[in-house]
Amino acid sequence: MACRGELQWFECMPTGEATVWTKDKYMATAEFKKAFASLGVLERIQGGGLDGPAEIYRLPGAMGTLGFISPISNHFCDRCNRLRLTSEGKLRSCLLQDFETDLRGIIRNGATDQEIRAALVDTILKKPKGYTLQLDQAGGCHGRMSRIGGC
Residues 138-149: pLDDT tens digits? 455 555 555 555
Q: Within 13 Å, how many C-alpha atoms sit on residue 10's CB side?
A: 12
3-state helix, strand and coil shares in percent for the chain, rounded to the nearest 5: 25, 15, 60
At residue 132 the predicted structure's pLDDT band, cuts being 50, 70 and 90, is low
pLDDT, tens digit, for every residue of 31-84? 888 888 888 999 998 866 667 788 899 988 888 888 888 887 887 777 788 888
Across residues 91-106, what is the average pLDDT? 88
pLDDT of residue 122: 96
